[in-house]
Structure 1
Amino acid sequence: MADTLAHWGDAIYDGIMAEHVLPAVRIHAHASLADIREPWDVAGCFPLMPEDWALSDHYGNGVFTRLSAACTSVRSALQAIQARIDGHAAVAIARRAHESLWQTFWLSNPEISADERVRRLLVLTGRDIKEAKRLFSSTVNTLIQGKLAEHLGRIESVTQSLDYRTRYGRDEYEDYYEQRANDPISASLPPEPEDADGPAFVWSMMSNMAHPNMVIDLITQTQPDFQGLMDRVQIDLVSSAVGCVCNLSTTLMQQAQMPEDKVDTVNRAFHQPYFALAQLLEMQREED
C-alpha cells in the first residue's frame, strides 16, 4: 500500500495529471466549444475567475478541477486504507471521488453538443454556489453571501434550469464505457465470487450515491464478518475510482487527439495502483 500511495502521489498526482492530462483538457476545451450556435454571455457567472478568461477557459477549468478533486480524494482514501483507519473513512472519501468523476463525465461526455456543454457547466457552477451559500449565513458574512447571490442570479438569467442529479453523470458514464470493449480498467475487474452477495449489494447501494454512510452501516452490519466486509468494500470503491480516473483521463486525451504513445503512457501509469488494489482485494478475500 505504501508503494501504491507513493506512485499515486509522484507518478500520477504530481506527474501524469499536470504533464499530460491538463494540456489535453485545455485542447479539448477549445475544440469542443468550436461549434456553439449562439454566443453565451457568461460574464459574472464564475466566482473568483479572471475577467479575461474565454468561455473555453472556464469550461476547461470546470472539467479539470473536478477530475483533480477526484484524484485528491483517491489519495486521501489510499492514506486512510494504509493507516487502517475505520473503513468508513475510505468509503466516505470514495463517495466524494465518484461524485466528482461523474460530474467530470457529465461535462465532457463526447456525445453532447457544444451548447449543452456550456449549459451543463453553468448548471454545475450554480449547484456549487448553492452549496457554498449554505456555509455563509447572511447574518454572519453579508459580503460573501451577497457576492454568491450575484453570481447565482447571473447564472439563472443565462440558463433557466439548474437541475442536476448524481445519477445523471453516473448513468451517462456507465452507458458510455460499458459499450466499449477496450475499456482499459473495468474490463479487467476480478470476478465476484458467487457467494459474495453482501459486497455486491453494498457496492450497488454505494454506486447509487443516494444514501448516507449510515445506510451502508445498516447493510453491512446485517452481513457475516462485518469488519472483513468493510475492508473489502473500501478497497473495491477506491479501485473503482482509480478506474474512473483512468477512463476519463485517457478519453480526454483521445478527444484532444494527443499522440497515442502519450495516451498509452497515461494508461499504463494508472494500471499500477489499480492492479495493486486488485491484488490487495484478492488477498482480503483469501483471508476470509
Structure 2
Amino acid sequence: MTKINKKSNIPTKSFLLAVFSVFGFWGIICSPLEAQAKEINQENVVYLVNQSRAEQNLKPLLINPELSKIAEDKAYDMVKNRYFAHTSPTGITPWYWFKQNNYNYKYAGENLAINYDDAEEEHLAWMNSPTHKRNILNSNFTEIGIATAVGVIEGKKSQVTVQIFAAPQTNIIAQAQNLSLSKKSTYILGAQTDGIKIEKTYLDNLNLKKENPLYEVIDANNKILTVAKSQSDKVVWTIAVLVLLMFFRDMVLDNIYTRKIRHKYSMANLIIFLLLFYILF
C-alpha cells in the first residue's frame, strides 16, 4: 500500500481570504470616495471649473460666500416658482439677486443645469457648449459661487444647479428663454456678459444703452435646442415699423392738409425718429 501524504491547504485558503478581504475593504472605501467625487456640490463643481481653467493657463476662481448666497437664492427661486430659466416668470433677471445681496459687479455670468446627478457629466455638458465654456474660461471672472436645489418643475422632480461667476463692479441685463420640461431630461442654460454696459435693470424700467447677449439651451447630448437672438433685432424691427407708420401717415396728411402743415409733421417725424434712435442706441 502506498502512503499518500496530503498537504494541508489551510495556509493557501488563509492567504486567499486575506487577499479578498483587502480588495473587498478597498472596494468599500473606494466606492463612497468615487461617489463623493461625482456628487454635484460646490467643492466638486469648483474643482472641475478650476481644472479646466488651469489647462488654459487661467487663474483659478475663488469661492465667494456672497456669490454662493446669490446662487442659493436663484436656485431656491426656481424651485419655489417651478421654472428653469435665467429670468423668472415674473421678470426677475439673474442680476436682481446680485442687487439683493449687495454685490456690485464689473462682469457677471450665470450657468444653469437641471437633472444631472454626476458633476463630471454636468461639467462636460457645459464645456461642450461655446457659451457655457466661455463663462467657465472667462479671464475677466475672478470669483464663483455654486448652489443646488431639488424640487418639482413642471410636474417632474428635478435637481437644478446654479453657477455664478463675477468680478466686482458694474451692471448688465439678461434675456431669458423658457423651456418645456414635460419629460425629465438634463439641460443646461447659460448667460454671460463680456463687459456689456447696461445702465439699469429691466425691473427698474431704465434705458438699455448696449446689449448683445447670447444664450444657448442644450440637452445632455450637447444638441443645441434654442439660441436666443439679441434684443437689438427687436429694436431694429421696432424702428422700421415706426418709420413705415410715419410714412403712411404723411401720405394721408398729403391728401388732407396743406403743404405747410405736412412740412411741420415731417419735421416732427424726424425729431421723433432721432429721439428714438438716441434712446434705443
Tell me whether the two structures share a fold, i.e. TM-score over 0.5: no
Q: Which has the higher contact order (CA 8 A, sep 6+)?
A: 1
Taking structure 2 as the reference length, the TM-score comes to 0.23
Identify, as 1 or 2, the structure richer in helix. 1
| Larger Cα-atom Rg | 2
